[in-house]
Amino acid sequence: MTVVADLALEVRSKNAGPFWVTMEIFARDADAYAVLADPSFLDASVIARLYGVEAADVQFFRIPSLNVVKISYPRPVAQGGLRDRDIHAGQHHVPLAMLAVPPAN
């Protein structure tokens, strides 16, 4: 089984302010980017399911010149809040990195 991390040089997450998380997928090459940027594979509903957020709040930025897919969504709790378990959002990328990629046709 191929997962997102297998097609990427790096998958990372970080703060995008106290109320947002941004994740970035740096694809290995243009072919990997074509798979990872394809909305029929990766879209707001997938992120909503993985992270328990509203699909309408998920933002995608696909940057083909850099082979990068950038995804932002509201943090479930504010940075540094009582229930914040990852103040730097440094581990939020793991479910995305482990997401199974459908087999090529």
pLDDT in tens, 2-59: 999 999 999 999 888 788 999 999 999 999 999 999 999 999 999 999 999 999 999 9
Gap between the Cα atoms of 44 and 49, Å rounded: 9
Q: Do the beta carbons of residue 4 and residue 98 sit within 8 Å? A: yes
Structure tokens that stand for 88 in this block:
């730097």
Q: What phi, psi does 72 have (nearest 5°)?
A: -125, 145
Residue 34 CB neighbour total at 10 angstroms: 14
Q: What is the pLDDT of residues 77-100, one digit of tens each?
A: 778 777 867 776 678 899 999 999
pTM of the complete model: 0.89
How many helices (H) and strands (E) are present in the chain, helices listed first?
3, 4
